[in-house]
Amino acid sequence: MKAFLNWSGGKDSAFCLYQAQQQGIPIEALVTTINSLTDRIPMHGVPRSLLQQQASSAGLPLYMIEAPPTPNMKEYETLIRFSNQQLKKKGFTHVVSGDLFLEDLRNYRDALYGSDDLQTLYPLWKIDTKDLMHSFLAEGFRAIVVSINTAFLNQSFCGRLLDSTFIDDLPGDADVCGENGEFHSFVFDGPIFRKPIEFQKGKIFYQDFPSPRKEDSENPPGPPSVTGFYFCDLLPG
């Protein structure tokens, strides 16, 4: 077995790497998608340089999939499959993801990677999200919230440390791990790293994104709805 891990730089992928290492799964690379225009990871807004620092501190090579700003599904899948085929040439046989409980997403990954004969592993699957967050903090991980979805949270949550106070302040209908897209994070310290990642907090800014829309007889083609996000800009330290 030779595995790579889908890496976002956030808490789920970081804790997934930790759990995989504890379970003896041989993670030999991290793979992430980068917006080729902004040079940042989509929906997190973290710059390439900080992702590279994470990988270096974790002692793992980082492979980056360069994507256009708003790829459609066909374009996205073409990029992933090309990456898969290149990684297979390097001997990779398995892909590891930090998904928790979204069955549709897991089924999609299974089909996407299975089409290239890569086996999928999910070390965090069905762990209760409250238990996972408790373990994440108890093991010494430290993270900052880099983006929030305004459909779930207000601006005050953006740029905060991911700690017990943050969790206590979450509204009752928000998942503590943000598994429904409530928020995204950047991990800057923890047992997977040789040394903490140095960064500075920049400005908090707002951006609209078109929401995916199913076009059928009940939802005819038309202007897409918009979802708003606040981002906390992170700069190399």
What's the rounded Cα separation, in Å, for the pair 207 and 28?
Answer: 35
pLDDT band (50, 70, 90) for residue 158: very high
Average pLDDT, the chain: 91
Res. 227 pLDDT band, cuts 50 70 90: confident
pLDDT at residue 224, rounded to an integer: 54
Residue range 184-201: mean pLDDT, rounded = 97
User: At residue 69, does pLDDT exceed 70?
Assistant: yes
* CA 26 vs CA 29, 120, 143, 169, 170: distances in Å: 9, 13, 24, 37, 35
How far, in Å, CA of 34 to CA of 67, rounded? 6
Please name the residues in contact with 147: beta carbons below 8 A apart, sequence gap of 6 or more: 43, 44, 45, 158, 183, 184, 229, 230, 231, 232
pLDDT tens-digit series, residues 112-122: 999 999 999 99
Q: Are the C-beta atoms of 31 and 51 separated by less than 8 Å?
A: no
Flag whether pLDDT at 48 surpasses 70. yes
Closest to 119 in 3D by CA, of 97, 93, 98: 93
- Which residue has tokens 């898969």? 84
Mean pLDDT, residues 59-74:
91
Stretch 188-216: mean pLDDT: 84
Band of pLDDT at residue 82, cut at 50, 70 and 90: very high
pLDDT band at 216 (very low <50, low <70, confident <90, very high): very low
**β-bridge partners, 65:** 33
DSSP string, 213-232: ---SSSS-S-PPPEEEEEEE
More confident: 79 or 70 = 79
Distances (CA, A) of 194 to 91, 152, 190: 26, 35, 9
Provide the pLDDT for residue 222.
Answer: 52
What would the two tokens of residue 106 be?
A: 């897991």
- Predicted TM-score of the model (pTM): 0.90
pLDDT for residue 106 is more than 80: yes
The predicted structure's pLDDT at residue 199: 96
Q: Which amino acid is located at 101 in the chain? A: F
